[in-house]
Amino acid sequence: MRKGISEQSSNGYKIIVVDDESGIIDSLSIFLRRSGYDFTGVTNPLEAIERVKNEHFDLMLLDYIMTPIHGDQVVEEIRKFNKELYILLLTGHKDLAPPLETIRRLDIQGYCEKSDKFDQLLLLVESGIKAINQMNVIKDINTELKDTYEKLERSYMESIQTLRYTVEAKDTYTRGHSDRVSEYSVLIGKYMGLSEEDLRTLRIGGLFHDVGKIGVPDSILLKTEKLTDDEYSEIKNHPTIGAHILSTATIFQDLIPIVKHHHEKYDGTGYPSKLKGEEIPLFARIAAVADTFDAMTSKRTYRDALPLDVVKAEIERCKGTQFDPKIADVFLDILNNHYDEIEEIR
């Protein structure tokens, strides 16, 4: 069985023809090269699979009835590693074509009966090349849009990071706190079986949950004595301020529920919206547990970090009032049975 032939031509489109009859290969070689295509002919369908695996081709013309395997089996193998190759099936007779169901399932773009005249085949090939061009244009546009979106995302992230670092420069407690809340939130999310996309939202939301403190006066934020009622009211504005900051960018819409509602309480006594139970967004309920845990286990100007037993007892006590009971139980299980993962964060 003879090997394939390959030559370069001017238009740059590469077509591979697979047929176990060498006469068909010879005829199509002359016809397609005259039409300006880069032609490769292969008489062994198994070799054709390897050629497609290791080389780029824009279009394949494939005989249906071949040995040692038929054309539909060739496509079956190719589709395991290449979903984009444009494939036209050649049949000796329309009655020998595979069922329409098979053609659709294998994403075969069309089929044509073999003939001494190649006019119809050339039309199908030209139509296929046009479709390939359209696909390439769409692919290029999508790549450009993705690059633009990623640049925009980086720009917004850098802007918000700058605000976050400004807050941390004002408030020594916040420094490191947001990073830990982010990691604790992701840890809880993992044990709840959340998706990678959800974990990403939790991670970024945790980092920025206190960004609204940029709008709290330093005299209140840095005060070491007990806050007055009015000063505490000012502090309680930071979730709303943070949500407002993020609301100007569509890209951060998924983060806003965390930023705005991480101080809500399960019994409806939290702020700013007094949401209750599952009215509170899931990610905010997760961040609330992570935020409170870090607050209790961090040293403050007015107290030392609380012992772990006290912290666990407090989380247990606040199930159903401050915390979602299910999320609190997940975190208590982590504290009791997977504390090494907490220590890695701290």
What is the domain partition of the chain in residue ranges? 5-140, 171-345
| pLDDT (0 to 100) of residue 57 | 95
- As a whole-number percent, the residues of the chain with pLDDT over 90 amount to 49
Average pLDDT over residues 215-243: 84
- Residue 6 pLDDT level (bands cut at 50, 70, 90): very low
107: left (phi over 0), alpha (psi -120 to 50) or beta: left
- Residue 172 pLDDT level (bands cut at 50, 70, 90): low
What are the contacts of 78-83 at 24+ separation with CB within 8 A?
78/49, 78/52, 78/53, 79/106, 79/107, 81/53, 82/52, 82/53, 83/107
Residue 249 C-alpha from the chain's centroid:
19
CA-to-CA distance for 99 and 105, rounded, in angstroms? 10
pTM: 0.60
CA-to-CA distance for 63 and 52, rounded, in angstroms? 15
Exposure b/e, 288-319, CB count within 10 A at least 16 = b: bbbbbbbebbbeeeeeeebeeeebbeebeebb
Is pLDDT of 4 > 70?
A: no
pLDDT, mean over the chain? 87
The neighbour count for residue 60, using CB atoms within 10 Å, is: 28
**159: helix, coil or strand?**
helix
| pLDDT (0 to 100) of residue 134 | 84
- CATH classification (class only), 5-140: alpha beta
Q: Which of 142, 280, 77 is nearest to 271 (CA)?
A: 280
Q: Which of 90, 87, 81, 126 is nearest to 104 (CA)?
A: 87
Are the CB atoms for 111 and 91 separated by under 8 Å? yes
| pLDDT (0 to 100) of residue 183 | 96
Average pLDDT over residues 275-292: 97
Average pLDDT over residues 250-258: 88
Residue 185's Cβ-count burial label (10 Å; 0-12, 13-18, 19+) is buried
Options 14, 114, 213, 265, the catalytic residue:
213
| pLDDT (0 to 100) of residue 1 | 40
Q: Which of 293, 284, 288 is nearest to 312 (CA)?
A: 293
Structure confidence by residue, pLDDT tens digits, 325-334 = 999 999 999 9
Please indicate whether residue 236 or residue 301 has the higher confidence score (pLDDT). Answer: 236
The answer to whether residue 213 is catalytic is: yes
Superfamily of domain 171-345: Hypothetical protein af1432 (1.10.3210.10)
Token pair belonging to 322: 């401050």
How many angstroms separate the Cα of 12 from the Cα of each of 8, 85, 236?
8, 16, 65
Token pair belonging to 248: 């100007």
User: Could you tell me the maximum CA-CA distance found in the chain, to the nearest angstrom?
Assistant: 96
| pLDDT (0 to 100) of residue 309 | 95
Residue with tokens 């069922």: 99
Structure confidence by residue, pLDDT tens digits, 48-97 = 999 999 999 999 999 988 999 999 999 999 999 998 899 998 887 666 66
Is pLDDT of 121 > 50?
A: yes
